[in-house]
Amino acid sequence: SLKTEHVQALAKFIEPEQNGIKYFGVAEGKNVFVIQAESVQNFVINTKINGQEITPNLNKLVDNESIYFDRYYEQIGWGNTSDAEFISHNGFYASRRVFSYKAYEGIDFITLPINLKDKGYNTIAFHGNEGDFWDREKAYPSQGLDEYISIEDLEVDEELGLGLSDQSFFRQSMDFIKELHQPFYSFLITLTSHHPFIIPEDLKELNVGEQYEGTSLEDYLQTVRYLDTQIGEFIQALKDENLYDNSIIVVYGDHKGLDYRYAEANEHITNLIGREYQVQEMYRVPFIVHMPGSGLKETISTVGGQVDFYPTMANLLGIELRSDSVLGKDLLNTEKGFAAIQNHVAQGSFIDDNIVFVMSEDGIFENSDAWDLKTGEPLDLELAREGYERAVAELKLSEYILQNNLVPLVHEKGIKGALEQE
């Protein structure tokens, strides 16, 4: 049966229960700010253009009492930004049929915000676009996000790109935040750095130099820099409101901004970063957990993806989560890295600590490509077979669990236990 097939496929990949959890509860009881940063890719971190840092504020975060995951990958499907939210909060993959909030409407979830509510947190989400975009308004209550402040609740005093400017967005969000009962979980989805990356001249802070002037890379970097400035100001506002010391600030990129298959952008990014801009770099987004007062500063280079957000955050926030109740892993306590990459056409692409594998669009393994993660050299496809099988198994299993409304049972019994009982 399909179920037996899932259980068998999974048994091959499931990792043993961990003993001794590193960093468990180090951020317990703190207010949590999660900033889902529109289109922010990892290559901007600690990179300079024409002598200037692209993201001085994010660089400062990385450098100061943060855990920085520098091999972290987007795993979105059709639902772009909203899938990034879904995967991160649930520890399951995006639907392959339609955006996840729609595909999985009406089922029972257990999410990071729900766990935090059980610990007495208030939960709230903010976004400077229409409330019903991506069905967020409808989906958020079952995701454990009790309050949702969208553009209808804010004063539209400065429009940029798809909606309210990030500057106005962060400033107005603070008016709500300072009234919240603590502790709280506050999820902020930014917008200005959305494709096609257009902001007025007077908001452009970078002088990219002749080489990049007027290119799509310049457009992209100007909006990323703009967002970086707003994040810097938001952190300053947290300090001014005496919220900084008892909070953690988490930033991650939702998905790529510039496609590596776009020759012009590829050439410019390759020049900028000094190595070839390829598929692995395109999917790579930053994940930074800044914990003031923790004394912790670490870069974790285990390969992971957005599906790992929930178990990793649960660990830091002192939430007991069975390691076999989600498809993600706690990246602070995982030896072997793995990230299944969703793409719209064929399942099976993945990145692990050694291999980048991109499944051919025709769905035929033999027509696919594999490279060495570190050197970029082509690899014998057979080396990628096990990872490919794991990626397919995880994605199918995720869909099976969600479609059959098994999340609560899976949290109670573990994936294997739940499927055996079902």
Residue 89 engages ligand GP9 in binding (rule: CB under 6 A): no
Element (H, E) at 220: helix 216-240
81 is catalytic: yes
Among 24, 78, 133, 365, binds ligand GP9 (CB under 6 A): 133
Amino acid, res. 124:
I
- Rounded distance between C-alpha atoms, residue 300 and residue 286, angstroms: 11
| Residue 118 marked in a binding site | no
Residue 325 engages ligand GP9 in binding (rule: CB under 6 A): no
Among 41, 55, 59, 80, binds ligand GP9 (CB under 6 A): 80
Check 55, 81, 111, 334 and give the catalytic one. 81
Task: Pick the closer one to ligand GP9 by CB: 133 or 176.
Answer: 133
- Rounded distance between C-alpha atoms, residue 199 and residue 201, angstroms: 7
C-beta of residue 134 within 8 angstroms of C-beta of residue 99: yes
Amino acid, res. 95:
S
Taking CB under 6 A as the criterion, which residues in 154-183 touch ligand GP9?
A: 162
Which of these ranges, 128-136, 178-186, 296-304, 402-410, lies near ligand GP9 under the rule CB under 6 A?
128-136
Which of these ranges, 126-134, 174-182, 352-360, 398-406, lies near ligand GP9 under the rule CB under 6 A?
126-134
Nearest to 23 by CA among 61, 64, 67: 67
48 exposed, middle or buried (CB, 10 Å; 0-12, 13-18, 19+)?
A: exposed
Residue 81 engages ligand GP9 in binding (rule: CB under 6 A): yes
Q: Find all residues with CB under 8 Å of 330, minimum gap 6, and list them.
A: 18, 21, 308, 311, 312, 314, 315, 323
Task: Pick the closer one to ligand GP9 by CB: 57 or 100.
Answer: 100
Residue 266 engages ligand GP9 in binding (rule: CB under 6 A): no
Q: Find all residues with CB under 8 Å of 172, minimum gap 6, and list them.
A: 154, 155, 164
Residue 13 engages ligand GP9 in binding (rule: CB under 6 A): no
Which residue positions form the known binding site? 38, 81, 194, 254-255
Sites of contact with ligand GP9 (CB under 6 A): 80-81, 129, 133-134, 162, 189, 191, 194
Q: Which residues are catalytic?
A: 81
Which residue positions form the known binding site for substrate? 194
